[in-house]
Amino acid sequence: MREIGHFVNGSRVSGGPGGRFGEVFDPNTGAVQAHVALGDVALVETAVQSAAKAQRAWAEVNPQRRARVMFEFKRLVEARMDELAALLSAEHGKVIADSRGDVQRGLEVIEFACGIPHALKGEYTEGAGPGIDVYSMRQPLGVCAGITPFNFPAMIPMWMFGIAIACGNSFILKPSEKDPSVPLRLGELMLEAGAPAGVLNVVQGDKAVVDALLTHPLVRAVSFVGSSDIAHYVYRTGAAHGKRVQAMGGAKNHGVILPDADLDQATKDILGAAYGSAGERCMALPVVAPVGERTAAALRERLLDGIAGLKVGISTDPDAQYGPVVTAAHKARVESYIAQGVAEGAELVVDGRNFALQGYEKGFFLGPTLFDHVRPDMTTYQEEIFGPVLQIVRADSFEAALNLASDHPYGNGVAIYTRNGKAARDFASRVEVGMVGINVPIPVPVAYHTFGGWKRSAFGDTNQHGMEGVKFYTKVKTVTARWPEGEVEDSAFVIPTMA
Low-confidence spans in the chain with pLDDT less than 50: none
Do residues 175 and 204 make contact, with C-beta atoms less than 8 angstroms apart? Answer: yes
Q: 150: which residues sit within 8 A by CB, 6+ positions away?
A: 92, 176, 178, 179, 280, 326
Spatial CA neighbour of 145 closest among 60, 73, 32, 237 = 237
- Composition of the chain by helix, strand, coil, percent to 5: 40, 20, 35
Burial class (CB in 10 A: 0-12, 13-18, 19+), 106: buried
Do residues 146 and 161 make contact, with C-beta atoms less than 8 angstroms apart? Answer: yes
Residues tagged active-site: 282
Determine the topology of domain 2-249+457-478 in CATH: Aldehyde Dehydrogenase; Chain A, domain 1 (3.40.605)
What pLDDT was estimated at residue 182? 98
DSSP 420-449: -HHHHHHHHHH---SEEEES-SS-PPPTTS
- CA 12/CA 442 separation, integer angstroms: 37
Q: Give the residue extent of every domain in the chain.
A: 2-249+457-478, 254-438
Q: What pTM value is reported for the model?
A: 0.94
What pLDDT was estimated at residue 378? 98
Do residues 123 and 357 make contact, with C-beta atoms less than 8 angstroms apart? Answer: no
SS3 176: coil
- The count of C-alpha atoms lying within 13 angstroms of the C-alpha of 352, restricted to the half-sphere facing its C-beta, is 31
What pLDDT was estimated at residue 17? 67
What pLDDT was estimated at residue 488? 57
What pLDDT was estimated at residue 1? 85
Q: Does domain 254-438 have CATH number 3.40.1280.10?
A: no
